Amino acid sequence: EAGVAQSPRYKIIEKRQSVAFWCNPISGHATLYWYQQILGQGPKLLIQFQNNGVVDDSQLPKDRFSAERLKGVDSTLKIQPAKLEDSAVYLCASSPLDRSYGYTFGSGTRLTVV
Amino acid sequence: DQQVKQNSPSLSVQEGRISILNCDYTNSMFDYFLWYKKYPAEGPTFLISISSIKDKNEDGRFTVFLNKSAKHLSLHIVPSQPGDSAVYFCAASGRTGTYKYIFGTGTRLKVLA
């Protein structure tokens, strides 16, 4: 089966600019996650979708970050405006409803804000 | 508030020997645990899981042990191989409907040939 696709792989932007990341999960996976991984830290959940509804966005900085999952499939994560501390790898993951299978992660988007 | 902790940022082991990676958690509501392996420039890949109803789960060279009273789990790799060199994350999930996983900070394992 095809894995979780993410694009772009790398992005460099100046602070205060905006950026968007795209994720296509594994077909049939109901749950989609966006994680932020800052260098030297573990992945931190930003937002979790089940189908096209948000079930957890408690750690999403909503003043600058937004995410949507149209039609319960693809998802986009946007940052506007970006800050230096947003430099990180943004990981998308998907899973079936049964959590015992864990997540399948994409390769991530490495964002550098200068 | 770091609910999942991996206190060893790095570990070096000789090829063929046992690698033991440790993870501690603080939330007694966690009841499902995963280990992930991550190579540079790749996303984490699922390795092995364990439910709180068990104290051990084995898959080939990988075994995860869970000590609920100590809120501690460990991943044993026997025998260690150079291809096992990667960053290992443990993750924990609680008995809530969202089933989100909280990750530790990772341990970088280096297996020396």
pLDDT digits (tens, 9 = 90+) for B27-65: 888 999 999 999 988 899 999 999 999 999 999 999 999
Determine the pLDDT at residue A8. 97
Across chain A, mean pLDDT equals: 92
Picking from A23, A92, A103, A107 by the largest number of B CB atoms within 10 A of its own CB, the best residue to mutate is A103
Alpha helices in chain B (DSSP H): none
User: Could you say which DSSP state residue A36 is in?
Assistant: E
Better-predicted residue by pLDDT, B68 or B94: B68
- B41 neighbourhood in chain A, CB within 8 Å: 107
Per the CB < 8 Å rule, is A100 touching B4?
A: no
A4 contact B CB<8A: yes
Tell me phi and psi for residue B78, to 5 degrees: -140, 125
- The residue of chain B with its CA nearest to that of A108 is B43
Nearest to B103 by CA among A92, A44, A100: A44
Nearest to A76 by CA among A6, A11, A4, A2: A6
